[in-house]
Amino acid sequence: MKRFLLIALSCMAFSAQAKPKKEKWIQLFNGKNLTNWTVKIHHHEVGDNFGNTFRAEDGMIKVRYDQYDQFNERYGHLYFNKPFSHYKLRLQYRFTGVWRKDAPDYTEKNSGVMFHSQDPNTMPKEQDWPISVEMQFLGILADGKPRPTGNMCSPGTDVVFQGKIDPRHCINSTSKTFENEQWITAELIVRGDSLVTHMINGETVLEYTQPQIGGGVANRYIPALKIDGKLLKSGFIALQSEGQEIDFRHIELLDLSKE
């Protein structure tokens, strides 16, 4: 009887240890307004949400251009107000049918989420892109050609891909091409200045390491901030607007800093 009791207690202890911890996801978007978010749009001061570009409606963050007279390279970013280092970011996005034809051609069905970004308050009015790394989102174009999503782009940064710093501004993922107007789940796993993983609809599509300051594309930044070769251990997260209307929802983050 004593032996049976010991076995039962051991099983109970093992079961308690094996029970997974409940994940505590932080909701970055409250579904109602842009509280805790800051806008920075090219040609405008920090906090100026020109043309109501970013708006909270119907439980989504929408990027819209219906109040624009012209696009005028008004590349925009909506920043969550707290920086993060080790985390898993999860969100859903969908492209709508409206694209500003006075925006550059490459912006059609193109958007993304920036991470390890500089603080928007350190960006001059005329800085176009933040020094950051981007998980790029792409939708299919009229020609129907393959166009993967969940890619990596690097304004003012570099990454190590397949063992060496890759000189390309953007590195394509292995994802399939998705039709527009459908919700896509994007997940980004960031572990400080080491491993970064991109996932689309639950599948790993790209991995790289050592995000760091370097490269080009970002312009008119404060020179003292661009220290090429400096590893990026943390930074801000921002949703992008660059001429294509897009919706974002279910934006949440799991803090991995204590793992």
What CATH number does the domain containing 232 carry?
2.60.120.560
Q: What residues of the chain score a pLDDT lower than 70?
A: 1-20
Instruction: Output the CA torsion sign for 197, 237, 180, 107.
Output: negative
Domain membership of residue 249 (yes or no) is yes
**Tens digits of residue pLDDT in 13-45:** 555 555 667 789 999 999 999 999 999 999 999
Q: What is the pTM of this model?
A: 0.91
> How confident is the model over 129-158, as pLDDT tens digits?
999 999 999 999 999 999 999 999 999 999
| The two structure tokens encoding residue 43 | 């040609």
Q: Is residue 4 part of a domain?
A: no
Domain that holds residue 162: 25-255
What is the per-residue pLDDT for 102?
Answer: 97
Inside any domain, residue 152:
yes
Contacts 24+ apart (CB under 8 A), 14-23: 23/254
Q: Which among 49, 173, 187 is positioned nearest to 113, based on CA atoms?
A: 187
Instruction: Please check whether residue 99 lies inside any domain of the structure.
Output: yes
Report the domain count for the chain: 1
Q: Give the pLDDT score at 3.
A: 56
